[in-house]
Structure 1
């Protein structure tokens, strides 16, 4: 295994080196870096051209310029990176730090969302093969996969920013809109739960009534302007999370683990009142992290004490339930901050350009309002990038899951009388997800490429903008900085995927 890892590291380093040479040569030969000065009528035009020529080393051969850049990059091994200067004399190091933060925030969130949603849809499609839900997911996957990024981004700007802002000026949901939303939820829930026609009709009808009633109640109390979950919804969500954890592990009949989960919810109810004053305006994310760690520790203790011979499972169920309830409490406080953010932003809650609604250095709102300032501009570009990846994840997962559940050992598990829950979660799913480790690496690289277009549409000052301006001005240093992040992330992710795959399947090492 060590020899395999060392070989993959050497190959990755060689790929990065050869790719950097190719990228540098293509960039410096993509145009004239003095084109704007040649067309200028300034009296000191020649002096400006000479200064830029000297600053960029245009009279030096390409290999000397590349070696100069490479020598600066090689200092990263001693934590003294020098990525050079732009044609205007700005430090590329500073540009990269600010740009990488915006882009990696966007791509990382989109990647995790795409993995979670895509894998879930793929598993459900395989379980409900050739059902209406399977056909709907297949149609949506091919639709999203074929969407041009720039078109989807512009469409979301129109609907998710401009029209949403206009609707928030006087939010009102018509009865027809309530019916459409409730029908879509009913159709989705009935398709996922499955069963015979009578069961699906009952499930759909109950879901329709519940969703329609919730939307109607929210509209009557003007929930869209002053939203909150409230303690009743938090308790319902926590009980739903407990039921989900039980179904995925031991089922609803195990009393000890059920009681451990209920005790966890009871302690979470106490924590809701105890932490209320702290969460009104916490000092920062460190406070949230500490509360999350305390939540996990208490849940582990409950599972250990009440689990008996199944302590491990009880601890897993308790932690999952506690984290779900903690997340709902977090969302309750976050939703309560929406009203204050509305007052600050006026009639334009979501702007069509930029990665923050207000300049962070000048923002003086509360902690929760600051999250909206940081995240509200993140929603639309994240949706664009997530939709691109959901299609591939869902299709790959469905195919891998179908191949796995048709294996002999799955038929053997069924013949032993194991339930579908145990067969799908403990036997089929684990093996079906092995190929996804490789797909994640390729998808991360493609998302960085798609982020260039997405950032251009939404006006983000990220890696895409830095890359685009570098190409436009024939300035190699910003382009190479983008290559270091995007190419390095792609190569490293592929290397980690190969190593993870080899650890899961020893045949790959050969």
Structure 2
């Protein structure tokens, strides 16, 4: 006890100890933070760095996916208010929102990892699975597109046949165990992304816009082929450099050939290039999938930890990336689905409020296309309250999803805080509150800056 009292300086007055701690924190202005030591004598700076890196990997991906998916479903539910799609989205959102985190995480471990790894030993798609999943996808697609009954029936039938065909092809080719990788992934993604983002951001009837988006896709594929040697054994700097080069080419094409709609064409082209870059990552991960399966003894989806201990493929970039990715799947999915539930409800509510405003009715009365009314008049204004929620949620998640990290054995900020609190260890707890509190302030400041970008009236 005397040794511990001396080590933690408990005989010194509290204000002396606090002042010494504060001097270490003030060093952050010189980029020389000193958060002290834990009760075992370990440097808290190092502990905090490792925990923050682990949590950021988990939280950043979960937050981005939650925002994108949640906002998409929220907008579609608002547009299809009181339809079957709206009721279905509302039901699923409330189910995920009300599920306790520890229950959902344990269910994911059982069905998303243990049983899925068992299935990977001899992966087959039986007829019942193909029919049920294809039918659900058909219902989903026809609900999103809406329109006349004939149009919805055609979309549902096409989706069902396409989905069933894909599952049959996966079964026949044994694609799950031995993926057929190659440049076709980037090419098909580029064509689909060019059409999709031109339709969403610009106008699918604008042939110039579609041509430039497809040209940007072709240019990005050429860049990937030209740097294939670098991509075979890359670093994150080189991969990001390839992405940046593709974006620069897309911007140049839009500026030189975009005409009157060059801004919307530029964004459609940029997102097309980004999609191809992610497809490139998927392509090279698929090329290394078989080797990774052998290294992890046929059980790729991990249930605990952020990396495999003593992983033999750590020297290979793609094998190491695969190991990190497979460890991220379950905890990210757990956090994402719960975030999607809240973002969906907030987005739906905000969109419905905006759609009832006078300026939206005026835009429709002027004869503007519904696509323009939704994206430029309604959605942008509906983003204001969502921006506030995203800032608070991200700041909260940086503090560590304590329950999720506990279930999945993730050594992040939540685990650091929980361990320090249990051990009555003041310096890690103080560092935790300093970092999470500082990020909360920064994220709210960032949200205020975004307000001015979203709503020009705020700039005045």
Match of 1:397 among 347, 359, 364: 347
Distance 1:182 1:508, change over 3 A: same
**SS of corresponding position for 1:223:** coil
Summarize deviations over 1:190-222 as a string: whole Å, max 9, x none: 111111222222211110110111011011111
- Structure 1 position 269, deviation (Å): 4.4
Give the 5 Å matches for 1:27-426.
Answer: 49-228=1-180, 230-279=182-231, 281-359=232-310, 363-426=313-376
Deviation at 1:430, TM superposition (A): 0.8
Change (3 A) 1:265 1:468: closer
| The structure with more radius of gyration | 1
Q: Structure 1 residue 143: deviation in Å?
A: 1.0
CA distance in 2, matches of 1:293, 1:174: 43
Q: Secondary structure at the match of 2:68?
A: helix
1:466 to 416, 425, 436: 416
Q: Deviations along 1:210-262, whole A, 9 cap, x unmatched?
A: 01110110111110112245444543332221222222234222222222233
248-257 or 469-478: which moved more?
Answer: 248-257
- Alpha-carbon contact 1:69-1:83 (below 8 Å) kept: yes
| Aligned twin of 2:383 | 433
Q: In structure 2, what is the Cα distance between the partners aligned to 1:461 and 1:262?
A: 43
Q: How many positions carry a matched residue from both structures?
A: 460
Partner of 1:454: 404
Task: Give the distance between the partners of 1:80 and 1:270, measured in 2 at CA.
Answer: 45
Q: Deviations over 1:94-149 (max 9, x none)?
A: 11111111012211211111111111111111111111111111111111111111
Flag structure 1 segments of 5+ consecutive residues without an equivalent.
Answer: 1-48
Match of 1:44 in 2: none
CA distance in 1: counterparts of 2:127 and 2:163, whole angstroms: 12
Partner of 1:71, secondary structure, is helix
CA contact (8 A) 1:350 1:357 kept: no
Give the CA deviation at 1:393. Answer: 1.1
Contact 2:400 2:415 in 1 (8 A): no
- Which residue number corresponds to residue 491 of structure 1? 441
- Normalized against structure 1, the TM-score is what? 0.85
Shift of 1:354: 1.0
Does structure 1 retain, via aligned residues, the 8 Å contact 2:234–2:317?
yes
Shift in CA distance, 445/249, structure 1 to aligned 2, threshold 3 Å: closer
1:479 and 2:429 aligned:
yes
Q: 1:489 to 1:265 in 2, by over 3 A?
A: closer
Q: Is the 8 A contact 1:363 1:370 kept in 2?
A: yes
Shift, 1:306, TM fit: 2.7
TM, length-normalised to structure 2 = 0.93
1:126, 1:398 within 8 Å by CA — same for their partners in 2?
Answer: yes
Report the alpha carbon displacement of residue 449 of structure 1 after superposing the two structures with TM.
5.2
Secondary structure of 2:401's aligned partner: helix
3-state SS of paired residue (1:433): helix
Q: What is the RMSD of the two structures over their aligned residues, measured on CA atoms? A: 2.2
